[in-house]
Every structure is written in structure tokens, then in C-alpha cells.
Structure 1
């Protein structure tokens, strides 16, 4: 477990979001659209970064979103985030999307569908980088 500079946040892998993949987020192939998945990853990573920095953050870098398996409408989508590094103004996170099937055919099956690295920078009220409190 990592302890973050005067923060009550401790994590190895934190559940940051849990939602259902809805049919309106399907792409032309019938799977959940990759942009929606990236959106969930950015929300989850941003929540942890905001908690650690104790203030506003902005996404500054996304490295290699890996699409390992498709997500279907009706899947329970969970976003797990791990803090990998804390700099003077930035936080590097490793994000994983896991799904759980909750349909009648494969109920309870759970696996990782996506991984990525996101970097956030702490910002002040003017949108400029700030050091952590």
C-alpha cells in the first residue's frame, strides 16, 4: 500500500466507479463504443487524482489504452485505479476496466477488458499547475 503525502488516501487498487453499459453506448459492431470506455477511465482516474491532490486536476496525458475484450450492453462496468507515481504537480495512474456479466447466460463471469495509464496535473483556480498541499 502507498501512503500519499499527508493524505488519507491509501491504495493499491481502488474501485472508483461502477456503472452499467447501456445499449445507447453501442458502436456499429454492437459492442460498447471505445470513447465511452475512455470516458469512464478518465472519470475514475480523475476522482483518485482529485482526492490525492486535494483540489482540481486536469488530464494531461493518456498512454496506450488497451482494448483487451469487448464490452456488451448490460455488463456491469467497474473502474479500478492505482496510483503509480506522484510528482511535484502530477499524478500517474494505472487504470483497469473490469466487467461482470449479469445476464442469464454467463451470470457472474468477471474479467479485465481495458487497461491504460493516465497522468493528471494538479491545477490552481487559474488552470495553472500547482504543487500539492
Structure 2
């Protein structure tokens, strides 16, 4: 079962929102991780510096949290490797079909009141709820 920790959730959400606002204000860009990653890999993109900095921050954040809290964050998963890989492929397909990822639509698009993002967010949340229900209650969980 997942432990609910409102303090860390509030702090994490505040940091994500602040980063999204800063990226929009300073660069006029949406904080969608898929778009940032694909732009960072595009050698023709002359603005790759901020993309790499953003990705580095996303990678460094758990390390900083670990140092701050004095204990490592749990990264273990009981899910089989095949299920994780299959999930990644399905998410990649969804990102392509939705024209963006959950962070871009869910955090930034909804904040801008984008109808397309609201529909995308409603769809991926519905599928998330269904997936969790099926995996935990129909298949017995991992």
C-alpha cells in the first residue's frame, strides 16, 4: 500500500509548480518532460542548455531529498521488468497520441485552461484509475 504524506506532497507540488511557472516566465516554455527530453536530444535545437539543466534538476532532486532527509528514498518495485518495459511503451504511445505528457498537460495545460489539456488529463486519469483497480483488485497486484 502507498503511504500518504501530505507534507512532502505539498512541498513536492510546490516545487513542481514553481519550476513550471519559472520555465514559462523565463523561457516561454511548457514544463512537459517529454518535450524537454526530446528537445534536449535534438542536435538542431539551439536552446538545449536549459533543457539539460531542467533534466539535471529532475534527476538531482531525489538525491537532494535523500541528503536532506537523511535516509534514502525507496526506489524498489515488485513489478516484473517486463511489465515495467511494457508500461513504458504504452506511456510512450499515449504521449504521442495526446500530443504531450502528463506533466505538460496536467500541470501546465490545465493551469492555462487549455481544453485539449483538460480532455487529455481526464482521459489519462480515467485510465490510471482503471489500471490501478485492475492490477490491485482483479489481478491481485504485483
Q: Which has the higher helix share?
A: 2
Higher relative contact order (CA 8 A, sep 6+): 1
Q: Which has the higher strand share?
A: 1
If you compute each CA radius of gyration, which structure gives the higher value, 1 or 2?
A: 2
Give TM-score scaled by structure 1 length: 0.28
